[in-house]
Amino acid sequence: MPEIRFDTYYRYDDLTRLLHAYAAEYPGLVQITSIGKSYEGRDIWLATVTDFATGPAAEKPALWVDGNIHASEVSPSSACLYFIQQLTAGHGQEPAITNVLDTRAYYICPRINPDGAEWALADVPKIIRSSTRPYPYDEEPVEGLRQEDVDGDGRMLLMRVADPNGGWKISPDEPRLMVRRAPDESGGQYYRILPEGRIDNYDGITIRMQRKKQGLDLNRNFPMGWRTEGEQSGAGPYPASEPEVRAIVDFIAAHPNITGGVAFH
């Protein structure tokens, strides 16, 4: 087994390598399959974990577990890896884990949204909500503040913009902090706070946040409780329209042995 850390967020190639390493290390307990391809064509990996010697997963009651449906929320992928680690390391050691793998199965999908996560974990990260597929408009936004790592420090933070009408001032106790200006306060140095980024087509007056071209929210694309774009933005044109969601819906529909699920999200 290659070294694996749980305080690290793995990019797609490393995550793929580690998942397959579990299957190689524990062939009697872990199988890795692809349940479909993402919008950009990446395999969506599923780890099936059970003791295959006591029967195939499909013949056991199973729990669905998934993670990383939203692009930048990558920690659930590590949580899924840790879960796989606990199950595999505990089999034959911990009676409860041994028993559960002998009689039950787990379907663990650590990264529902590999494309969005790859953008979030890139050397120059780009943070979007979910899928990288442009929606609802496939055209470049024309104006507004576009969030970006302007100073190239690998983080997208907030900017202080000096403004006599600003609602914030520097904390007298800790200059790294901003505190609210009192409603009746005047005569000091005040600031507006904006997300780090650049403003396209600035008219000198109005600063709007630029709407991202990637407006999908995979979380809202499932058939249950689906609403149209006007009621629930990012829901997509119809339920399970997006390949990532479609892959999960198809898998769950084809596996009536799934008795419950936990979205690490």
Among 42, 70, 129, 133, binds Zn ion (CB under 5 A): 70
Distance CA 84, CA 25 (A): 12
Using CB under 5 A as the binding rule, whether residue 220 contacts Zn ion is answered as no
| Binding window for Zn ion (CB under 5 A); candidates: 62-70, 97-105, 113-121, 172-180 | 62-70
Asked whether the beta carbons of 160 and 193 are under 8 A apart, the reply is: yes
| 73 versus 118: smaller Cβ distance to Zn ion | 73
129 binds Zn ion (CB under 5 A): no
Q: Which CB sits closer to Zn ion, 49 or 112? A: 112
Stretch that binds Zn ion, among 72-80, 90-98, 102-110, 159-167 (CB under 5 A): 72-80
Name the E strands within 19-171: 30-37, 43-49, 62-66, 105-109, 144-147, 158-162, 168-170
Question: 158 vs 34, 191, 193, CA distance in Å?
Answer: 39, 12, 6
Between residues 52 and 226, which has the closer beta carbon with respect to Zn ion?
226
∠ at Cα 14 (9, 18), nearest 5°? 100
Burial class of 206 by CB neighbour count within 10 A (0 to 12, 13 to 18, 19+): exposed
CB of 174 to Zn ion, least distance (A): 30
For residue 38, give the 3-state DSSP assignment: coil
Whichever of 51 and 73 has its CB closer to Zn ion, that residue is 73
Residues in the chain: 265
**Min CB(143)–Zn ion separation in Å:** 27
Q: How far is the CB of 68 from Zn ion (least distance, A)?
A: 9
Q: Tokens standing for 176?
A: 């790294």
Q: Which stretch binds Zn ion (CB under 5 A): 70-78, 127-135, 167-175, 221-229?
A: 70-78
With contacts defined by CB under 5 A, name the span among 67-75, 135-143, 155-163, 172-180 that binds Zn ion: 67-75
For position 60 contacting Zn ion by CB under 5 A, the verdict is no
- Using CB under 5 A as the binding rule, whether residue 111 contacts Zn ion is answered as no
Pick between residue 133 and residue 220 the one whose CB is nearest to Zn ion: 220
Looking at residue 246, what DSSP letter applies? H
Residue with tokens 């419950």: 260
Provide the β-strand partners of residue 178: 170
Choices 32-40, 50-58, 68-76, 221-229; region in contact with Zn ion by CB under 5 A: 68-76
Residue among 33, 44, 101 at smallest CA distance from 68: 44
Interface ranges with Zn ion (CB under 5 A):
70, 73
